[in-house]
Amino acid sequence: TKLIIGLTGGIGSGKTAVSTLFSQKGIDVIDADIVAREVVEIGTPALSRIAEHFGPAILSADGSLDRAALRKTIFSDPAAKQWLEALLHPLIAEETRRQLAHVSSPYGLYVSPLLVEMGQQNYCQRLLIVDVSEDTQLQRTMNRDNNDRAQVERIMASQANRRQRREAADDIIDNSGDLASLAVQVDRLHAHYLTLAKELS
Ligand code: ATP
């Protein structure tokens, strides 16, 4: 089986910036957030089940899932949340495995914000962490999203902390510098992963 590198880091740490650099080297990237959206796209059985269960108000005018409405519904209803997770988790797991099995580059990158929190290490053999200070995380996220500080801090508090991530990591990218410094580190890791992938095959 193919070498899969798990990439994670807190909100605004630079996962997308890093995965874009790997992708530019021809490495296949599987993104957990995208998979989670794909399983409820228009026309999927899961979306029909959700619309049956919660009613048509859960859909937007174009028939796609109204994520804000769904979030609101499950926020105040633990049973609804449980029902939704029981539906989606197996589908997401199946689709993730399908996409990972189709990796055609020498190794693959599986990107998820929750690799440390949810123990999704079963999808990957090695864990790569994007590491920045909490101040930098906060600043970059606020600049990007126009979110207020309290909102970003709430999300950060719900995620694993820097020490927990660093302890779980096999490899660490330091994203405290500029994008050029990020690219240099990705170059070095890419060479390393190619060697590991060769040893595996
Ligand atoms: P999320 O978990 O919210 O999806 P992420 O981990 O994917 O975030 P990015 O979106 O890659 O993080 O980065 C957060 C923001 O910081 C983006 O606006 C990005 O352009 C910027 N950024 C990332 N790395 C750097 C860097 N080294 N220097 C300056 N800005 C950066």
How confident is the model over 11-38, as pLDDT tens digits?
Answer: 999 999 999 999 999 999 999 999 999 9
Is the shortest distance between the CB of 169 and ligand 1 below 6 Å? no
61-84 average pLDDT score: 93
Please give the ipTM for the structure prediction.
0.97
Q: Which atom of ligand 1 is nearest to the CA of 33?
A: 4
Give the pLDDT confidence of 156-168 residue by residue, as tens digits: 999 999 999 999 9
How, if at all, do strands 28-31 and 3-8 pair? unpaired
Domains and CATH numbers, the chain: 1-27+107-201 (3.40.50.300), 36-104 (no CATH)
DSSP string, 120-181: GGGG-SEEEEEE--HHHHHHHHHHHH---HHHHHHHHHHSPPHHHHHHH-SEEEE-SS-HHH
Q: List the residue whose alpha carbon is closest to atom 18 of ligand 1.
A: 144
- The pTM of the whole model exceeds 0.90: yes
pLDDT value at 200 more than 90: no
Beta bridge partners of 7: 111, 128
Q: Count CA atoms closer than 13 A to 67's CA, side-chain side.
A: 5
Q: How far is the CA of 119 from the centre of ligand 1 (A)?
A: 23
**What whole-number distance in Å separates Cα of residue 24 and Cα of residue 46?**
33
pLDDT digits (tens, 9 = 90+) for 119-172: 767 899 999 999 999 999 999 999 998 888 998 999 999 999 999 999 999 999
